[in-house]
Structure 1
């Protein structure tokens, strides 16, 4: 399957399907019957898995890995699966979405799983039975993200229309409290909506709850993240995180709730305190940042990107270098602005300089066509007094040739401005008016041409200086990035999602071309279950 940049751009909606929801999962023996793995053949093992993975998360209890994805935006069913990350074996599969699954969340007790997909549905699954407890279609358009509260009593779902719904997972459904269903009829009993939050005017990409469950974060295409005290009678916006220059794709809370990380299409990650104050900006990705995740101890942030890489950021070092990074980014931005301004002005300035030069040449030609014949007359008069003077004869011939050339040039250059009525009228005045006045006009035209050329040179010098400063700032930015982050590369396509295992020793990443990959962390990052093709290539090398 070919997945190129053009297709990604045309299908912007699916580009949003990159950020997994923080999730927890505690699996007991009954929740993962042994026969589940036996039912699957070897072709479905993690190393051979070949379908999209757009969202994933580890179990905090036993490192079981939950993934969501599919094979196409529409027409083919989406996937929700549970894996044994250590062995690479498939543990369980869930069905219900008719298209790619964008987001998955699991309750802390491991009994409930919530998913959302491109088909606009939100499905609540019972993990033990693998059956849908409720299939919900309350959002207008697709549902981008879901997140379950830490106590497992509620979950949030995020909509294309900027609306976030809070659902009750504990109370019995009350049909009278349900808003009209915009889509197909629900396939299972509905749940109760306890809060409706018009969070943003544009689409909400991601939702996340704080560790204590009291704060809800919403990330949007409007370039902002908002924090909500959602448990109040009327949910209250408590902070607005502004600073990204493009859509925010992901938001995550650290385990201790003291920090928030956001990922954006502006290629940066930002770190904030719990109140929404910006602490640091992490730059180094060469394309949109699709997903972020905190390590359990909060010391590392993992990020994924369309630049086909995963980065592991040292949070402590990022904080220490925050001021230097900020100064470098300011230098970069200021000089990019200066370079663009000079570029925008250079074109018109060059055009004006060219026009001023042509006008100066036209006026000069007319003045010369009047001045040089007068000089010819003076030479001829002198020659009458000194007949056969060879020097004067040569001077006469030269003056005559110059006068004829000036007359011809004046005619040609005047003709070039026939479409310019105002300047043509001015040329006529210069041609017919007093020669002294015409010479003053020439001096003014020469100065204007000279000033125009000087302006072009100034703008060129400004652009050259700004471009040099941009190169220096980018080099410094990349140097700082290398100090702060380890990079996992070698992906064949965009990387959509990342999550840490509960003990922080593993990370999993999801993508399209590379699907699902798991890495052991240490001094070196080592892939646990490389695909057979990769293993064969390594052996050949």
Structure 2
């Protein structure tokens, strides 16, 4: 358990056994740190920027970090120097979601202004006209090899359930490819499996849904959480899904059959982020009690008699 911060920290990057684990929680200050397995901070990016950070993503090569902040600016950081490489401006509202393309050449950002933007890491310029998604509030953006998926809130803020959609866009043209419907409230998080064959969504309607990326049809409905789902992530081999919820739990799921693995991982407050280690044997969860917890995924899976889920990646 990582403790010792007097203020809530919005986003961190943690390293355990040289495998990257991300930590995120709502905060009152901007801070990004990297950790050895001790854990102890080995770099602190907070000195370069004081604006409140809402999202963060590590580059595929582990050398850069991209962050989105309240001022609507997307920032690219160098981990070794702890300096900002560039600032991308264009969003008019808080940037709440960022991600990297798999080749590390592009960054995708989503904002409360309902717009998704794509940025070139080398050119430092936009590589695609802004996508006006139609979401009243855009909560999630994610890349597949050739598609962009967005999810958000699609109606007025009444406090009542309203249909949340997922929209699929072409990465080269920015044209709408498909609209996926099924969730009955805001879609707050998205993830692709590594093979690109399945898109996974989590929602305020307490459900997780999986979608076939060839037909764009729903393939499974995963239900066990009792409150909104804040984050989802797939294991390196695509067999296991981890989810974080405001019901104070994280769950591990067998993606092959859409069922939970073992009991809920209980916390004392909301869980707002989850991430696997590089070998998939550990899970980090970020709780709104300002602590980060690590869990023995391998032990949980073996105890459930599902050792096969720990086999090497099925991506060819």
What's the C-alpha RMSD, in Å, of the aligned pairs? 2.3
Query: Once the two structures are superposed, what CA deviation does each residue of 1:359-417 show, in whole Å capped at 9, x if it has no partner?
Result: xxxxxxxxxxxxxxxxxxxxxxxxxxxxxxxxxxxxxxxxxxxxxxxxxxxxxxxxxxx
> In 1, distance between residues paired with 2:303 and 2:267?
17
Match of 1:206 in 2: 189
Residues 231 and 117 (structure 1), Cα distance of their counterparts in 2 relative to 1, 3 Å cut: same
1:260 aligns with 2:241: yes
1:451-510 Cα shifts (integer Å, max 9, x gaps): xxxxxxxxxxxxxxxxxxxxxxxxxxxxxxxxxxxxxxxxxxxxxxxxxxxxxxxxxxxx
Q: Does 1:285 align with 2:267?
A: yes
Give the one of 280, 283, 296 matched to 1:298.
Answer: 280
Kindly tell me: are residues 45 and 58 of structure 1, through their superposed partners in 2, closer, same or farther at Cα, counting changes over 3 Å?
Answer: closer
For 1:136, which of 131, 140, 156 is the aligned residue? 131
CA distance in 1, matches of 2:293, 2:299: 14
Q: What corresponds to 1:318 in structure 2? A: 300
What is the distance in 1 between the residues matched to 2:240 and 2:192?
A: 12
Using the alignment, how far apart are the partners of 1:215 and 1:136 within structure 2?
Answer: 23
Work out whether 1:250 is the aligned partner of 2:215. Answer: no
**TM-score, normalised on structure 2?**
0.75
Task: Report the alpha carbon displacement of residue 78 of structure 1 after superposing the two structures with TM.
Answer: 1.6
SS state of the match for residue 208, structure 1?
Answer: strand
State the distance in 1 between where 2:91 and 2:194 align: 29
User: Equivalents in 2 of 1:17, 1:291: separation in Å?
Assistant: 7
Confirm whether residue 147 of structure 1 aligns to residue 142 of structure 2: yes
Q: Secondary structure at the match of 1:93?
A: strand
The 2-side partners of 1:271 and 1:78 are apart by 33
SS in 1 for 2:252: strand
Aligned equivalent of 2:69: 69
Tell me by how many angstroms 1:292 deviates.
0.6
Give the match's secondary structure for 2:183. coil
Equivalences for 1:48-63 in 2 at 5 Å? 48-63=48-63
- TM-aligned CA deviation for residue 45 of structure 1: 5.0
> Which of 209, 213, 226 pairs up with 1:226?
209
2: CA distance, partners of 1:200 / 1:89: 40
Task: Map 1:427-446 to 2 at 5 A.
Answer: none
**More strand per residue: 1 or 2?**
2
1:258-407 counterparts in 2 under 5 A? 258-275=239-256, 276-319=258-301
Higher relative contact order (Cα pairs below 8 Å, separated by 6+ residues):
1
Aligned equivalents of 1:130, 1:199: Cα separation in 2: 37
How far did 1:322 drift? 6.2
Q: Is the contact between residue 25 and residue 290 of structure 2 (CA under 8 Å) also seen in structure 1?
A: no
Query: 1:17, CA displacement in angstroms?
Result: 8.7
Partner of 2:170: 168
From the superposition, tell whether residues 115 and 284 of structure 1 become closer, same or farther in structure 2 (CA, over 3 Å): same
Higher fraction of helix: 1
2:79 is equivalent to residue 98 of structure 1:
no
User: Where do 5+ consecutive residues of structure 2 fail to align?
Assistant: 1-6, 9-23, 27-43, 155-163, 306-316
Q: Which has the larger radius of gyration?
A: 1
Q: How many residues align?
A: 256
> Structure 1 residues 68 and 281, CA, compared in 2 at 3 Å: closer, same or farther?
farther
TM-score, normalised with respect to structure 1: 0.45
**Matches of 1:98 and 1:211, distance apart in 2:** 32
- Alpha-carbon separation, structure 1, partners of 2:168 and 2:117: 14
CA distance in 1, matches of 2:296, 2:244: 16
Q: What is the distance in 2 between the residues matched to 1:261 and 1:51?
A: 30
Counterpart in the other structure of 2:38: none
